[in-house]
Structure 1
Amino acid sequence: MVFTYDADDTGWRQRFWLTRDYLPEFADLLIGWPSLADLTSAIGGRAEPVLVPWDCADGFFEAHWRRPEAYLDEDVRRAVSVWTRVGPQAEQRAVSTLREDLSSGRWAERNRDLVALDTAELGLRLLVA
């Protein structure tokens, strides 16, 4: 099994508030990423969507989609390679803006529909041979 992104479907980038509103640089990390069709063909398998539960404890990039304050924690960010790959300037800008939006209530207003969700479809796929 392989855990990957569906880089072909650009719509998921709009579904995850962190990449949509704070870290657009994430999209650059997927340039040249193999297509989902190529990946599934390479292993002779199929791709299944991975729904991320709101209380996911794994710690990968999207794990805290309903707990935005987690992304303010330096330890949480250091456990995820995305932050290193986008660079310190993008990281600090994203964290600073997120902190401001959480304090002002802007994040809650923009993402009020998330509190009713138990899981989110954020473009993650599990490749099964």
Structure 2
Amino acid sequence: MSTLYDRIGTCYSATRRTDPRIAALIRGALGDARSVINVGAGAGAYEPTDREVLAVEPSETMIGQRPLGSAPALQARAEDLPLPDRSYDAALAVNTLHHWTDLRAGLRELRRVARKRIVIFMRDPPSGRPFWLTENYLPSLDPSRKYSAVIEAIREELPSVKALPFELPRDCADGLFVAYWGRPEMYLDGEVRRNISNFALAEEGDIAEGLARLRADLASGAWDRKHGELRRRESLDLGHRVLVAELG
């Protein structure tokens, strides 16, 4: 069951650490759910520790990075969960839906195994502020069209879904694609880029020229003249949302 993260996930936990503010948002969205299936769980960054949790993850590499004492993990795909109907209070999916092979099949599986609610954390780019990296330097990495299709599928498959906005903090510990919106130098770090799927899926030739221009603009001060106020902001809405669908 080879996956993208078997290739890029060997040092994933070095830059993709749990951010406590995202974790608190997810815990709140889970509400009174006492049992949770975490689908596309990766290394388990946002699994609650005060509830019964089963992690589902297709990548053996990512399962191998789960910390000692974390929830048990099952190697399987979202589209075919080997679990009975309504077997968990809540289904959780964090920054994973855009990787699923059959999105609608995966959403139906979440709906099948969850009794109370489904909680999804992801980015919906058009709902937030435009991101300077894709606007000015790397337009080929803009995921807006793909993510908009994901949001449309969620709304059709989970009609009760509601979206709660989340402003990403400037010092976000989780190195998401847009996490360094106020720390632009970080995008020049190869290890940071390696743990971001947007970069890992891109051809090197597609990003080299854009990164060279970013490096030059940082050196000349051009980036700061245009975007310098971002270094002083505490948080920014770049479209991250927690989506909650109540079932039953």
Q: TM-score range by the shorter chain?
A: 0.7 to 0.9
Correspondence for 2:77: none
Q: Could you list the runs of 5+ residues in structure 1 that have no partner in the other structure? A: none
Higher relative contact order (CA 8 A, sep 6+): 1
The one-letter amino acid of 1:82's match is N
Identity of aligned residues (%): 36
**CA RMSD, aligned part only?**
2.0
Bigger CA radius of gyration: 2
1:37-116 matches, cutoff 5 A: 37-43=152-158, 44-116=160-232
Describe the SS at the equivalent of 1:25: helix
Q: CA 1:112 to 1:32, structure 2 compared with 1: closer, same or farther past 3 Å?
A: closer
The TM-score with structure 1 as length reference comes to 0.84
Q: Is the 8 A contact 1:64 1:70 kept in 2?
A: yes
Between the two proteins, the alignment pairs up a number of residues equal to 125
Q: Distance in 1 between matches of 2:146 and 2:207?
A: 22
Q: 1:5 aligns with which of 123, 133, 137?
A: 123
Which whole-Å CA distance do the structure 2 matches of 1:127 and 1:120 have between them? Answer: 18
Q: Which amino acid aligns with 2:162?
A: R
1:22 matches 2:137 = yes
- Gap runs ≥5 in structure 2: 1-118
Normalized against structure 2, the TM-score is what?
Answer: 0.46
Name the SS for the 1:86 alignment partner: coil
Take 2:207 and 2:221, find their aligned partners in 1: how far apart are those partners? 21
Which is helix-richer, 1 or 2?
1
Secondary structure of the structure 2 residue equivalent to 1:55: coil
Partner Cα distance (1:107, 1:41) in 2:
40
